[in-house]
Structure 1
Amino acid sequence: MKINSTFTGEIVPRATKWIYSATAMGRDAAYTLISLFLIAYIQFAAPIGYVNGVRDPALYAAQFGVISIIVIIARIWDGLNDPIMGFIIERCHFKMGKYKPWILIGAITNTAVMLVLFLARPQGWAYVALFGVFYFLWDITYTMNDIGYWSMLPALTSDEKQRNEITTIMSIFISVGAFAVGGVVPLTVANNAVQNYGIIAIVVSVVFLLSQLILVFFAKESARNLEQEKISQKTKFGDMFRLMKTNDQLRWIVIVILIYYIASNILNGLGLNYFYFMFGYGNDAGEGGNIQFLFTIMYAGGTILAQFLFPLLIKFLKRSTLLLISFLMMALGHVVFFFIGAPFNGVPALGVQYPILLYVLGIIIFSGQGIFYLILLIMMENTIEYNEWKTGERKEAVAFSLRPLTAKLASSAQQGIVWVTLSVSGALAVTEGISKLEVDKGLGIATDIETGANQLIANGNQDMIIFAAVMTLLPFLLYVGAYLITRFLYNIDEKKYAQIVKEVDERRASLAVETPQEEVK
């Protein structure tokens, strides 16, 4: 197959449908390693806080704070950079395809940068400086791949059934990639974090790069539409802001996705620390790493089950009904998690005494999240046809640059929330001691460090009620806000979307008769 092979019509070739969907697994494995565990790596294993080989706890806290600020700024910049990438994709066209060049360039460069972030180990401020440079490079290179990949989705087909099927399959593979990393990391890293994070980074980087090479060389892009190509050539950077202004439905769904990402990221961002502090630092049965692994299995099971059931549920239930059910599952699940997961009045939390309660909650919360997110993706995809119906322009790349923009802004908010929570609750002071033990283990100075780590936790002054409240009740409030917006301000239901697609198709047919298609050089 030629790398620039294309297909025509609304039916996506079977191979392309599965390759496009399956290669999301490698992408999200890589993204999960960075978004969920890079800060945990820095917190527990990075060589920060050192002066001439000696650890200074106050310097550790200061350098962790500087790194947190770098991450916050970088993710905001990266989010703002996403529309620039969308603009570039709309304007630049290669024989290789509209999206494939950026997917390929981003994958190759991002793989190299990710390895540096986990394998390079200068000490103290030298590490902070290296991290600042390469984290910004990671943002830029991943954006190339991310915008190219997601912009390709709505361009494959406008058929709602086909699009729903691809979105569902893709979401399953996204979950597999994310949960594979989300489960393996907490199960393996404690007690030898420096070495194990390095091994995991190498494996994930190879899987990510191979998956994107398969996508680029074996999947097909949809043949270009001449009229939309002419519009793309006229794309300006300010189009994103105009698009948000003129496409009211896109504007509201982008706000909802941003809120959703922030809410779901909080539990993920604080989860590993929570399980270490509540169940103990280590990977053995009953310890924090093992409990986090089992919780992640419930997370994966609930999400993948929801995704498998989604095509069946959407046939019998309206999107609005599914949205309400999934909202109640994830929102109320977080409230219950707080009351059984926090140690009130010095009494061990019920969830610590009976971890199976947390596992059941994991299935409920993440099943709800899986359905809720799938519906949000479909709602966002449908605003592409809405924009074409309203203005005559699709602008897929510009519109879908807003999805990773929301992800990056939410990730920035997550890092700020995690940093503040660790500092205010007193948890960061405890993890400084654990970090020193892990670095010593990496240097061969220490051997078994679990006993020392758990003594630090037992003697620490961390406030786990504050910790649990931020982790559960704040997401609950955000989910309430997200649902209310979709309920009262987003109005493209199934009936309206069908009418929009019908009218758009009629316009295209009329235009095709008046102006025959020519091959785009």
Structure 2
Amino acid sequence: MESTSQAVPQTSGNAKSRIAYSFGAFGHDIFYATLSTFFITFVTSHLFNTGNEAQNDRMVLYITNIIAALRIVELVIDPFIGNAIDNTKTRWGKFKPWVVIGGLISSVSLLILFTDMGGLNKTNPGLYLILFAIIYITMDIFYSFKDIGFWSMIPALSFSSQEREKTATFARIGSTIGGNIVSVVIMPIVLFFSMSRNGGAGDNRGWFWFAFIVATISFLTAVGVGLGTHEIDSDLRKNTEKTGFKDVLKVLVKNDQLMAIALSYVLYTTGVSILNASELYYFTYVLGHAAQFTLLGTINTLVGLLSVSLFPKLADKINRRNLFFICIFIMLCGIGVFTIAGTSLAMVLVAAELFFIPQPLVFLVVLMTITDCVEYGQLKLGHRDESLTLSVRPLLDKFGGAVSNSVIGIAAVAAGMTTGATAKTMTAHGIMSFKLYVFGIPFVLIILGALVFFFKVK
């Protein structure tokens, strides 16, 4: 099918666009890793230090439950955000304005969340919780606009499945570096800006400046996407009819393959989010060396790049479906090693790598499957819904993150891993409780996700 706008270059052959898009993914995943994995560490270990342990634990549970509730409520909102993006028409396209605007507002909101709001968490806890909820939902909604807009661009950048795999691979290289470099730099940055080392965990000042750097990078790379990428204009991208507000959920439900991959992925990503978010706790409270977490982040960055670069060849030789199951098996082996690693750094690193290496590959398998569901839905329903369809993946990541934050909060309180705790204060019972939460639950959820994929995703 010929393009209706020959003046717009095809991004699949445009190095500038690919670089801009990959840098956008870099900044986007720096933000996501901070929000989904390390923000909860700040909340449980630094934000509440009233001197009253019971009060601290209560506030931690309030915050983690507020986060979980808001993110689950927002699951209903995300499809409508996707539909709003689909119905957007501007001279800059329908995706880029939301990437830039969402990047700005979410970055500013994140920065505020990494503060005690002028001491309100101690002087007026009730008001603090109300303001926290308002700022958090604002951040989450505009992050959704950015997230959905950004990843929804892939079907608009090329109509070739192979070209999409290449573009997504470039983006995943950027996101792999971004998501893992946070683990490399977080503790050095936090400790550099902290007034007190606090047993190697840093203080609130250090965490604020870390968040400032993250927010700045996230916004600047979003601007880079806005300036450096181009959508392909084609008759294929023109809906035969608009999807009305009341028809949004109907469109999703009628796409049976989209629903199948969604169910599989939500089980998988919830399990993965829980274990990923637990790793800094493991280094801090079990190994007793939070600074060694930088080593894990460095290794993850290097092997993650290798993993992503192999995706096109692996997907071609053994196909996406087989690749998915091989990855799941390796991840389960990693969880098994984690359960017996104890205080051995070498064993912990082996377990973490076995669990991590397949993650970028599974992400790309799922992303490509959902992306192809755009045309599947268009064929079945008679109209094209790019952002609405692609909104499903970040929606599910949010759900996984919501459950993860809740589980980690409960596990940290149950194990005694809250403000003021150190590895020396941990008990054998506390560590065992922690392991049951962060290893047992992910193991079961990942197996269930694989079973759904096997039986339902065609």
Q: 1:11, CA displacement in angstroms?
A: 4.4
**Matched ranges for 1:403-418 at <5 A:** 403-418=393-408
Q: Which shows bigger deviation, 74-83 or 259-268?
A: 74-83
Runs of 4+ in structure 1 over 3 Å off: 8-12, 186-191, 224-227
CA distance in 1, matches of 2:6, 2:93: 8
Partner of 2:114: 118
Change (3 A) 1:49 1:130: farther
Q: 1:174, CA displacement in angstroms?
A: 0.6
1:161-208 Cα shifts (integer Å, max 9, x gaps): 100001111111111111111222245533432121111111111111
CA distance in 1, matches of 2:345, 2:164: 39
* Alignment partner of 1:27 is 2:22: no
Bigger Rg over Cα:
1
Q: Please, which of 191, 214, 219 is the counterpart of residue 229 of structure 2?
A: 219
CA distance in 1, matches of 2:11, 2:20: 17
Q: 2:442 is matched by which residue type in structure 1?
A: P
Q: Is the 8 A contact 1:68 1:416 kept in 2?
A: yes
* Alignment partner of 1:92 is 2:92: no
3-state SS in 1 of match to 2:92? coil
Unaligned 5+ residue runs, structure 2?
191-199
CA distance in 2, matches of 1:18, 1:102: 19
Q: Is the 8 A contact 1:334 1:472 kept in 2?
A: yes
Q: 1:230, CA displacement in angstroms?
A: 4.9
CA distance in 2, matches of 1:6, 1:334: 51
Q: 1:245, CA displacement in angstroms?
A: 2.4
Q: 1:376, CA displacement in angstroms?
A: 1.3
Q: Matched residues, percent identical?
A: 25
* Alignment partner of 1:76 is 2:72: yes
* Alignment partner of 1:432 is 2:419: yes
Q: Is the 8 A contact 1:121 1:127 kept in 2?
A: no
Partner of 1:155: 156
Partner of 1:143: 144
Partner of 1:377: 367
Partner of 2:309: 308
* Alignment partner of 1:270 is 2:257: no
Q: Please, which of 88, 99, 102 is the counterpart of residue 98 of structure 2?
A: 102
TM-score by length of 2: 0.90
Q: Which shows bigger deviation, 477-486 or 10-19?
A: 10-19
Q: 1:239, CA displacement in angstroms?
A: 3.3
* Alignment partner of 1:228 is 2:238: yes
Change (3 A) 1:6 1:206: farther
Q: 2:411 is matched by which residue type in structure 1?
A: T
3-state SS in 2 of match to 1:206? helix
Change (3 A) 1:59 1:185: same
CA distance in 2, matches of 1:8, 1:203: 33
Q: Is the 8 A contact 1:68 1:415 kept in 2?
A: yes
Q: Is the 8 A contact 1:28 1:178 kept in 2?
A: yes
Partner of 1:176: 177
Change (3 A) 1:364 1:454: closer
Change (3 A) 1:217 1:367: same
Partner of 2:194: none
Q: 1:5, CA displacement in angstroms?
A: 11
Q: 1:264, CA displacement in angstroms?
A: 0.8
Partner of 1:488: 455
3-state SS in 2 of match to 1:432? coil
Change (3 A) 1:275 1:6: farther
Unaligned 5+ residue runs, structure 1?
281-286, 342-348, 435-452, 492-521
* Alignment partner of 1:476 is 2:434: no
CA distance in 2, matches of 1:401, 1:297: 31
Partner of 2:254: 246
Q: Is the 8 A contact 2:71 2:399 kept in 1?
A: yes
* Alignment partner of 1:386 is 2:371: no
Partner of 1:206: 216
Q: 1:34 is matched by which residue type in structure 2?
A: L
* Alignment partner of 1:331 is 2:339: no
Q: Which shows bigger deviation, 309-318 or 24-33?
A: 309-318
CA distance in 1, matches of 2:236, 2:337: 54
CA distance in 2, matches of 1:79, 1:249: 19
Change (3 A) 1:42 1:21: same
Q: Is the 8 A contact 1:279 1:291 kept in 2?
A: no
Partner of 1:497: none
Change (3 A) 1:404 1:273: same
Q: 1:319, CA displacement in angstroms?
A: 1.9
CA distance in 1, matches of 2:71, 2:244: 23
TM-score by length of 1: 0.80
Change (3 A) 1:121 1:183: farther
Q: Is the 8 A contact 2:240 2:382 kept in 1?
A: no
Q: 1:255 is matched by which residue type in structure 2?
A: L
Q: Which shows bigger deviation, 328-337 or 190-199?
A: 190-199
Q: 2:145 is matched by which residue type in structure 1?
A: M
Q: 1:257, CA displacement in angstroms?
A: 1.6
Q: Is the 8 A contact 2:252 2:258 kept in 1?
A: yes
Change (3 A) 1:5 1:295: farther
1:288-337 Cα shifts (integer Å, max 9, x gaps): x1332222233333322211111222232222221221111011221221
